[in-house]
């Protein structure tokens, strides 16, 4: 090298000069991480986005040293990434050091490259009055690194920047009215089934023919009201059992399915339930259909529950409250539906008008939902 | 009883499969990749890059021995060079980290002063950078690197008399093209463009064996000066000579893209910058070029959104180094001339390169605010800047 460059420092001088000139062409986005914290009914949850380029320098991700980081490499370094993150962010709730734990590793694409996303929960009090964060990620590697914090509470965002000279940020939180997580999640469960029209329509599609029986290709009312009641009970119980099963599995982190896949499949289940009423294929086994698709709807409930913020310390209470809310909400609907259907079942037009027209309407709405969810667009207002 | 057409399980399976198998366009937000072999991030332009490995190894040694001055300076130097080659400003922060034991000292060793000045100017702390270089000149008046860095900063600031004074010792200390190129650059901005260009052309002809980075730099400076003079065919030849030297130089790519855009050859600029979206300045030019071709390439909207996101991240961080690019962005891609003028004015308070003058004139013209352009007009008159683009804008402004 010295033969080509007569002055040992000159190569650098050129680099320096070009460096100066290159300001106009230079990428100016320096190392930045994004931290989001939300207050939920049970405490604090958050997301931390760390650039893979920074993690590579801090813990080493490119295991085969080929200049490219794959998802498999990131996964195999998950423990090291988590340990690094835990050692570089310290949380104090109400003046007490509070542990936090990572419950998910994802990936996000930012304007300047790929980021690892750590989803976490702070195992502190449900309603801290004060939160203090001390952030020291990457500062030793890069004094120009900044951690950008967004704290969300009740629709209000507060922003702060962590820098080597300002690693600690403290916030006072407004104390919300004291409610137990059981009550909160019970209400959320009821609200979810009442406002989740897809679950409602699925249930309705199964219940519409519940007071009828098919004989020789013709719909006939079930004469014995008790038989009709038990038929409906069977369907509702199968649905309940199935979705409680998958809701618990998903909430406990045993199974994870992508939200969009679940939502699309739920729309498809409504379509199939409606078709079943129009072209009866398994009318004798509605309870089996309720069970099979109930499994799917459970994943949908789990996604809704996760959006509310799961709290590891109170998982059992949260899950119980939410599921109970869903069941009670569902029973309330059945309690309104069943007497009406029972009294209308002898009506001659019930099969044609209520069952057929109702099913066609349900089918139409569900078909639009399916298209919306698969295509990721919004057309219907609900 | 009719037999069902399909069994319950078949239909359930089909439902799930149809949902899985349908092409799902990427949803915004965090995701769990489907495939372990999916590449999430590319760290360098070549898979097996010895320079990247050398940097990693010397950084590891420095971690064990953080007080080792030579090692620290070497890490900082290589990191700055990587920043240039990979267009990733993270390396500037890494360079600063290597110099941590000396960063706050009032009078660190000369080699630290020069590196510290380089890093400070990259954050646009020009005054602090010059203070470091003043001290370096006193400690080591025969260090060519100190004079070159000084000349370069003073040129960016538009202080041409002081830049010329720095070029005198540089010409004595640095043989070959370096001193001449620095001086020719100042001269071409300061009313002696034709004479400076002729001298630089002679020097290039006389030094065919000069090192590649020096020649690339000289051709770039010459091409830009000819572009300002409106000598378009000459400028293109010189840009191509610089590119033919085979260095990956974001500055050169940006300058050539500007020339292509000014010459109405946007489609070529799109091709040139297709894979350069990581550097803000080059992404900006790519988006400008895409806006000028028809039909607009599919990536255009994403590029504009990415630029917006980077500027916003910069605002949140409290950086002020993107004012030039953001003013440009707002003026040409967002059609917000008032906001562009505010940023161009703020940028002019810091940097005085021809592109900064053009931006201030252009945004003042777009708003119809002649007084806002006054600082640039005075500067152009005082320095005798020869720049056809600026001259056109000045005429349009005077006609207001």
pLDDT in tens, B9-62: 433 333 333 333 222 223 347 899 999 999 999 887 677 778 888 888 899 999
Mutate: best of A8, A10, A24, partner B, most B CBs <10 A: A24
pLDDT in tens, A162-187: 999 999 999 888 755 545 667 777 88
Q: Which of A145, A25, A112, A54 is nearest to B85 (CA)?
A: A25
Spatial separation of the C-alpha atoms in residues B334 and B299, rounded to whole Å: 16
Token digits of residue A324? 């109970």
Token digits of residue B201? 């052309």
Look at the block and give the residue holding tokens 């309870």.
Answer: A287
| Cβ atoms of B373 and B345 closer than 8 Å | no
pLDDT at A274: 87
CB-based contact, B326 to chain A, within 8 Å: no
Specify which residues B348 forms β-bridges with: none
pLDDT in tens, A27-55: 456 889 999 998 887 788 999 999 999 99
The better pLDDT of the pair A315, B146 is held by B146
Beta carbon pairs, A and B, within 8 Å: 282
pLDDT at B17: 33
* For chain A, percent of residues with pLDDT exceeding 90: 27
CB-based contact, B41 to chain A, within 8 Å: yes
Q: Is the pLDDT of residue A374 over 60?
A: yes
Question: Which B residues, 203 through 222, put their C-beta within 8 Å of a C-beta on chain A?
Answer: 211, 213-214, 217, 220
Q: Is the pLDDT of residue A4 over 60?
A: no
| Cβ atoms of A91 and A132 closer than 8 Å | yes
pLDDT in tens, B82-137: 887 777 888 999 999 999 999 999 999 999 999 999 999 888 899 999 999 999 99
pLDDT in tens, B311-334: 988 888 888 888 999 999 999 999
Query: Which of A272-286, B39-53, B223-237, B250-264 shows the lowest per-residue confidence on average (mean pLDDT)?
Result: A272-286
- Helix B144-157 to helix B160-173 angle (10° resolution) is 160
* For chain A, percent of residues with pLDDT exceeding 70: 86
Token digits of residue B34? 């489907």
Confidence of residue A284 (pLDDT cuts 50, 70, 90): low
Mutate: best of B11, B41, B75, B287, partner A, most A CBs <10 A: B41
pLDDT at A237: 87
- Helix B110-122 to helix B90-98 angle (10° resolution) is 150
CB-based contact, B31 to chain A, within 8 Å: yes
| Cβ atoms of A300 and A198 closer than 8 Å | yes
Q: Which of A60, A71, A156, A153 is nearest to A117 (CA)?
A: A71
Spatial separation of the C-alpha atoms in residues B120 and B115, rounded to whole Å: 9
Q: How far is B400 from chain A (nearest CA, A)?
A: 30
Test A20 with B40 for CB contact under 8 angstroms. no
pLDDT at B219: 96
Test A20 with B92 for CB contact under 8 angstroms. no
Mutate: best of A2, A8, A11, A27, partner B, most B CBs <10 A: A27
Q: What is the 3-state secondary structure (H, E, C) of chain A?
A: CCCCCCCCCHHHHHHHHHHHHHHHHCCCCCCEEEEEEEEECCEEEEEEEEEHHHHHHHHCCCCCCCCEEEHHHHHHCHHHHHHHHHHHEEEEECCEEECEEEEEEEEEEECCEEEEEEEEEECCCCCCCEEEEEECCCCCCCCCCEEEEEEEECCEEEEEEEECCECEEEEECCCCCCCCHHHHHHHHHHHHHHHCHHHHHHHHHHHHHHHEEEECCEEEECCCHHHHHHHHHHHHHHHHHHHHHHHHHHHCCCCCCCHHHHHHHHHHHHHHHHHHHHCCCCHHHHHHHHHHHHHHHHHHHHHHHHHHCCCHHHHHHHHHHHHHHHHHHHHHHHHHHHHHHHHHCCCCCHHHHHHHHHHHHHHHHHHHHHHHHHHCCCCCCC
Nearest chain A Cα to B280, which residue? A27
Spatial separation of the C-alpha atoms in residues B163 and B160, rounded to whole Å: 5
CB-based contact, B30 to chain A, within 8 Å: yes
Q: How far is A195 from chain B (nearest CA, A)?
A: 24
Best-predicted range by mean pLDDT (A303-312, B5-14, B326-335): B326-335
- Residue A290 CA to its chain's centroid (Å): 24
Q: How far is B370 from chain A (nearest CA, A)?
A: 26
Mutate: best of A7, A14, A139, A369, partner B, most B CBs <10 A: A14
| A26 → closest Cβ in B32, B87, B149 | B87
Test B43 with A117 for CB contact under 8 angstroms. no
Test A272 with B15 for CB contact under 8 angstroms. yes
Whole-angstrom Cα Rg for chain B: 25
pLDDT in tens, B340-388: 999 999 999 999 999 999 999 999 999 999 999 999 999 999 999 999 9
pLDDT at B71: 95
Burial group, residue A163, by CB count within 10 angstroms (0-12, 13-18, 19+): middle
- Average pLDDT over chain B, rounded to whole? 89
CB-based contact, B125 to chain A, within 8 Å: no
Q: Is the pLDDT of residue A99 over 90?
A: yes
Test B313 with A29 for CB contact under 8 angstroms. yes
pLDDT in tens, A338-358: 888 888 888 888 888 888 888
Task: Kindly indicate whether the ipTM for this predicted assembly is greater than 0.85, answering yes or no.
Answer: no
Q: How far is B265 from chain A (nearest CA, A)?
A: 19
| A7 → closest Cβ in B29, B93, B144 | B144
| A111 → closest Cβ in B12, B96, B309 | B309
Test A24 with B281 for CB contact under 8 angstroms. yes
Strand order in the sheet with A146-153: A100-110, A113-122, A43-51, A32-40, A146-153, A156-162
| A52 → closest Cβ in B40, B124, B143 | B40
Look at the block and give the residue holding tokens 């064996």.
Answer: B209
Query: How many of the other CB atoms lie within 10 Å of CB of B182?
Result: 28
Nearest chain B Cα to A270, which residue? B15
Q: Is the pLDDT of residue A91 over 90?
A: yes
| B20 → closest Cβ in A53, A261, A376 | A261
Q: Cα torsion at A227, A230, A231, A235 (round to 10°)?
A: 180
pLDDT at A179: 55
Average pLDDT score over residue span A103-113: 88
Q: Is the pLDDT of residue A140 over 80?
A: yes
Test A52 with B254 for CB contact under 8 angstroms. no
Test A256 with B52 for CB contact under 8 angstroms. no
């Amino acid at each position: 090298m010295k033969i080509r460059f007569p002055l040992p420092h000159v190569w650098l001088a050129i680099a320096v000069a070009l460096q100066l000139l290159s300001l106009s062409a230079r990428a100016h986005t320096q190392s930045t991480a994004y931290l989001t914290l939300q207050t939920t009914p049970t405490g604090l949850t958050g997301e931390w986005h760390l650039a893979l380029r920074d993690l590579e320098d801090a813990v080493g991700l490119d295991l085969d040293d080929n200049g490219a980081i794959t998802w498999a490499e990131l996964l195999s370094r998950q423990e090291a990434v988590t340990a690094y993150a835990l050692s570089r962010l310290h949380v104090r709730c109400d003046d007490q050091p509070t542990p936090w734990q990572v419950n998910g590793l994802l990936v996000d694409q930012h304007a300047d490259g790929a980021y690892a996303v750590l989803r976490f929960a702070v195992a502190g009090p449900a309603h801290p009055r004060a939160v203090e964060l001390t952030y020291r990620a990457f500062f030793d590697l890069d004094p120009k690194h900044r951690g950008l914090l967004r704290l969300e509470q009740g629709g209000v965002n507060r922003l702060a920047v962590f820098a080597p000279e300002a690693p600690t940020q403290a916030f006072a939180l407004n104390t919300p009215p004291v409610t137990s997580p059981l009550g909160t999640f019970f209400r959320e469960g009821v609200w979810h089934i009442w406002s989740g029209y897809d679950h409602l329509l699925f249930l309705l599609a199964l219940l519409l023919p519940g007071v009828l029986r098919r004989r020789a290709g013709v719909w006939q009312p079930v004469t014995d009201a008790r038989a009709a009641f038990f038929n409906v009970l069977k369907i509702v119980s199968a649905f309940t059992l199935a979705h409680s099963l998958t809701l618990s599995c998903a909430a406990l982190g045993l199974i994870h399915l992508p939200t969009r896949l679940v939502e699309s499949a739920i729309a498809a289940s409504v379509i199939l339930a409606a078709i079943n009423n129009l072209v009866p294929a398994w009318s004798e086994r509605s309870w089996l259909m309720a069970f099979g698709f109930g499994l799917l709807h459970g994943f949908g409930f789990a996604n809704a529950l996760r959006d509310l913020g799961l709290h590891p310390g109170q998982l059992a209470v949260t899950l119980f409250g939410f599921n109970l809310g869903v069941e009670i909400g569902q029973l309330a609907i059945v309690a309104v539906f069943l007497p009406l259907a029972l009294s209308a079942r002898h009506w001659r037009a019930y099969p044609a008008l209520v069952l057929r027209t109702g099913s066609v309407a349900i089918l139409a709405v569900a078909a639009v939902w399916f298209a919306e969810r698969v295509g990721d667009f919004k057309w219907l207002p609900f | 009883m009719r037999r069902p057409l399909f069994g319950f399980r078949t239909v359930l399976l089909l439902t799930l499969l149809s949902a899985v198998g349908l092409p799902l366009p990427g949803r915004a937000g965090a995701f769990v990749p489907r495939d372990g072999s999916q590449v999430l991030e590319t760290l360098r332009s070549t898979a097996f890059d010895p320079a990247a490995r050398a940097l990693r190894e010397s950084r590891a040694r420095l971690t064990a021995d953080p007080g080792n001055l030579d090692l620290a300076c070497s890490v900082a130097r290589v990191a700055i060079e990587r920043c240039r080659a990979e267009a990733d400003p993270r390396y500037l922060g890494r360079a600063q980290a290597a110099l941590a034991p000396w960063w706050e000292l009032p009078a660190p060793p000369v080699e630290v002063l020069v590196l510290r000045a380089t890093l400070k100017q990259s954050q646009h702390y020009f005054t602090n950078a010059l203070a470091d270089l003043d001290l370096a000149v006193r400690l080591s008046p025969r260090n060519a690197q100190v004079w070159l860095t000084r000349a370069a900063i003073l040129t960016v600031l538009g202080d041409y008399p002081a830049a010329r004074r720095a070029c005198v010792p540089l010409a004595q200390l640095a043989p070959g093209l370096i001193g001449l190129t620095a001086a020719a650059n100042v001269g071409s901005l300061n009313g002696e463009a034709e004479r400076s260009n002729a001298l630089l052309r002679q020097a290039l002809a006389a030094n065919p064996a000069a090192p590649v980075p020096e020649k690339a730099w000289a051709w770039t400076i010459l091409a830009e000066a000819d572009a300002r003079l409106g000598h378009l065919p000459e400028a293109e030849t010189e840009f191509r000579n610089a590119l033919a030297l085979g260095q990956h130089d974001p500055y050169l790519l940006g300058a050539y893209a500007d020339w292509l855009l000014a010459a109405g050859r946007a489609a070529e600029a799109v091709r040139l910058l297709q894979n350069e979206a990581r550097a803000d300045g080059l992404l900006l030019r790519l988006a400008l070029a895409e806006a000028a071709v028809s039909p607009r390439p599919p990536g255009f909207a994403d590029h504009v959104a990415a630029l917006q996101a980077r500027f916003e991240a910069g605002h949140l961080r409290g950086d002020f180094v993107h004012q030039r690019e953001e003013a440009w962005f707002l003026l040409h891609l967002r059609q917000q001339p008032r906001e562009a003028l505010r940023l161009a004015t703020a940028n002019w308070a810091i940097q005085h390169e021809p592109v900064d003058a053009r931006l201030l004139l252009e945004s003042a013209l777009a708003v119809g605010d002649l007084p806002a352009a006054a600082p640039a007009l005075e500067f152009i008159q005082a320095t005798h800047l020869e720049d056809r683009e600026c001259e056109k804008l000045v005429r349009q402004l005077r006609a207001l």
